[in-house]
Amino acid sequence: MQAVILVGGEGTRLRPLTYGTPKPMVPLFGVPFLERTIVRLREAGVNEVILAAGYLPQAIIDHFGDGSTVGLRVTYVLEKAPLGTAGALRNVADRLTGAFFVLNGDVLTSLDLRAMLAYHNDKGGEGVIHAIRVDDPSAFGCLVHDGTGRIARFVEKPPRAEAPTDEINAGTYLLERSVLDRIPSGRAVSIERETFPELLAAGGRLYAYTTDDYWLDVGRPEQYVQAHSDVLDGKLVLPSSHHASSGTVFAVPSPQAPPNLHPPAFVGAGVTIDPSAVVGPYAIVGDGCRIGAGAHVRNSILWDGVAIEAGAQVSDAILASNVTVGKGAIVRAGAVIGHDASIAAGRVLEPQARIAAGD
Ligand code: GDD
Ligand code: MG
């Protein structure tokens, strides 16, 4: 079984994190997000993953190579200019031998891929789209289907008041090769705005596979933070095989946690925390971070090598690799700081600040 993962997006909504790190390589508990997705595919019986990439692909290639470290074959097809979500599939058509999975690269879910395959074999259509119910469908593709699951309409990102349903495209497809024949080559094509609507209008059969699995698109800062708190809260259990990181999860309660570490929290390898600093709850501290005397870090995600100097306060923020927060500085309320940036001593960031190196 083969799977194509769409990882060519620029990750605009996660900037400045994605200036230096492509969205699929953004860490979840110290492990690149995409690694967990690939392990999940392997555990479902997929033996080849084709990565349709384009934006900062080298970081992805350097990490996964031929796939031997993740236990399946990984190949890459790079787009010189983005081909869109369907154009990217058309671009890999000559590598696909039968029905195949397609995954949006930024989705965190507990979906059972084998059960979805069985559903597809039962329905016998051209494809199946995983569907989830959400409160606000306006940021997603809406799926209108009948009682048998057969999809009548696909409406991408409707205004909230016009959304025809609360069931949305959850970004995992199982498609027959015949779908590829419907995608024009040589230009950018959107599967959501062109291919699916056109296939349905032509009488093609697509089915919704609606589940109540854990599901989150981590492509925005709030959701990226939520993914971590959901795991710490036990709403999503990451299988132990997905814990490739050498860090430690401190659940609630954690009798072994030092008194200044307030669970739930995650602490990577080689971290130094001053005894007078306070870390947690909901702190994710990457490998090699240093937290100085009297500093506070809570409800925040620190990638590797971040330095929080004495008396600094970090709350509700995301700090990419090697960020330095100077003495007494305050980083708060939705701030997102790009890799290698320095926050000067005493500086107080505005809520929702976006700071890249050199700012
Ligand atoms: N190779 C390639 N080329 N990949 C692309 C391209 C491209 O031109 N454009 C986007 N992608 C990848 C992104 O990297 C991401 O993994 C995936 O396609 C979806 O793109 P997003 O930019 O994250 O789309 P979205 O979140 O706004 O909406 C999509 O996902 C929703 C579920 O999370 C749509 O598929 C919606 O219908 C869906 O509900
Ligand atoms: Mg997305």
Helix (H, G, I), strand (E, B) or coil at 280: coil
Per residue in 281-310, pLDDT tens? 999 999 999 999 999 999 999 999 999 999
Contact 111, 172 (CB under 8 A): yes
Q: Encode pLDDT of 120-161 as tens digits.
A: 999 999 999 999 999 999 999 999 999 999 999 999 999 999
- Whether the link from the prior residue into 137 is cis, omega within 30° of 0, is no
Choosing from 26, 80, 104 the residue with most ligand 1 atoms within 8 A of its CB, the one to mutate for a pocket test is: 104
- Structure confidence at residue 244 (pLDDT): 56
Residue-averaged pLDDT of the chain: 95
Location of each CATH 3.90.550.10 domain in the chain: 2-225
- CA dist list (Å): 266 to 6, 31, 245, 331, 332: 29, 12, 11, 19, 19
Q: Please say whether the structural domain 248-355 has been given the CATH code 3.30.70.260.
A: no
Q: Measured between alpha carbons, how far is 80 from 183 in angstroms, rounded to an integer?
A: 18
Residues in the chain: 359
Kindly report whether the peptide bond that precedes residue 16 is cis, defined as omega within 30 degrees of 0: yes
User: Residues 280, 286, 292, 297: what is their CA dihedral angle, to the nearest 10 degrees?
Assistant: -30
Instruction: Identify any residues that bridge with 336 across adjacent strands, giving them in sequence order.
Output: 318, 354
* Start-to-end CA span in the chain (Å): 47
Minimum-distance ligand 1 atom for the alpha carbon of 13: 22
* Percent residues over pLDDT 70 in the chain: 98
Amino acid letter for position 188: A
Q: Do 142 and 224 touch, CB atoms closer than 8 A?
A: no
Confidence of residue 113 (pLDDT cuts 50, 70, 90): very high
Which residue's alpha carbon is nearest to atom 39 within ligand 1? 140
Measured CA angle at 83 (ends 80, 85), to 5 deg: 140
Judge: domain 2-225, CATH 3.90.550.10: yes
In sign, the C-alpha dihedral spanning 6, 9, 14, 19 is positive
Ligand 1 atom nearest to CA at 170: 32
CB distance 10 to ligand 1 below 6 Å: no
Q: Cα separation of 230 and 307, whole Å? A: 26
Gap between the Cα atoms of 85 and 54, Å rounded: 12
The DSSP code sequence of 289-327 is -EE-TT-EEESEEE-TT-EE-TT-EEESEEE-TT-EE-T
Residue 106 Cβ < 6 Å to ligand 1: yes
Distance 85 CA to ligand 1 centre (A): 6
Tell me what the mean pLDDT of segment 251-262 comes to.
Answer: 91
Do the Cβ atoms of 25 and 7 come closer than 8 Å? Answer: no
Q: Where in the chain is the domain with CATH 2.160.10.10?
A: 248-355
pLDDT of amino acid 243: 55
Atom of ligand 1 nearest to the CA of 140: 39
Burial (CB < 10 A; 0-12, 13-18, 19+), residue 318, is buried
Cis omega (within 30 of 0) for bond into 263 = no
